[in-house]
């Protein structure tokens, strides 16, 4: 997958994801992410053992997307334990990723945001090439 540079942003920005779907699998909100390529860590949608994640309502779909994204260095997987099946996506670079709905995996391919989010970095995500266009982001995924 080769994503050309994203167009210039003015308001909210762009976030492009690579979405993989295996609708026959029911992972019940559980997925696995690699930990620096060493081992897979179990992740549970909208859950942390050390604090309560407050869900936000977006229309009729309660999701807290940012709290459910994790760093993916080399792989993310979902498992259907009742069918004894696993679906794994391996990536060629570090990205954020999640499984927000049953039977799906998504990886953040590219972002371009024109405004500071006031979260402490004090800058916005507007990387450009030498001609001023958005950076190209080639990526390879293995399923």
What pLDDT digit, counting tens, does each position of 4-27 carry? Answer: 666 666 666 677 889 999 999 999
Share of the chain above pLDDT 70, in %: 80
Please tell me the distance from the alpha carbon of residue 80 to that of residue 31, in angstroms, as a whole number.
Answer: 10
Q: How many Cβ atoms sit within 10 Å of the Cβ of residue 128?
A: 13
Check pLDDT > 70 for residue 117: no
Check pLDDT > 60 for residue 61: no
Share of the chain above pLDDT 90, in %: 46
pLDDT tens, residue by residue, 15-58: 788 999 999 999 999 999 998 878 999 999 988 888 777 655 45
Q: Where are the domains of the chain?
A: 2-142
pLDDT tens, residue by residue, 75-116: 999 999 999 999 999 999 999 999 999 999 999 987 777 777
- For the beta sheet containing 70-72, the strands, ordered from the edge strand earlier in sequence to the opposite edge, are 14-21, 104-112, 95-98, 70-72
Check pLDDT > 70 for residue 66: yes
pLDDT at 23: 95
Whether 67 contacts 74, CB under 8 Å: no
Which of the four CATH numbers 2.70.98.30, 2.30.40.10, 2.40.170.20, 1.10.10.410 does domain 2-142 have?
2.70.98.30
Residue 51 has φ and ψ, to the nearest 5°, of -165, 165
Mean pLDDT for all residues in the chain:
83
């Amino acid at each position: 997958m080769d994503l050309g540079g994203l167009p210039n942003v003015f308001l909210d920005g762009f976030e492009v994801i690579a979405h993989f779907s295996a609708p026959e699998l029911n992972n019940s909100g559980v997925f696995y992410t690699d930990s620096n390529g060493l081992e897979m860590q179990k992740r549970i949608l909208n859950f942390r053992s050390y604090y309560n994640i407050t869900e936000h309502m977006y229309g009729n779909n309660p999701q807290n997307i940012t709290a459910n994204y994790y760093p993916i260095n080399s792989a993310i997987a979902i498992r259907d334990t009742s069918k004894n099946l696993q679906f794994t996506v391996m990536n060629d670079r570090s990205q954020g990723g999640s499984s927000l709905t049953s039977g799906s995996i998504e990886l953040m391919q590219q972002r371009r945001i024109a405004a500071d989010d006031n979260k402490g970095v004090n800058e916005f995500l507007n990387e450009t090439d030498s001609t001023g266009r958005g950076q190209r982001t080639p990526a390879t995924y293995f399923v």
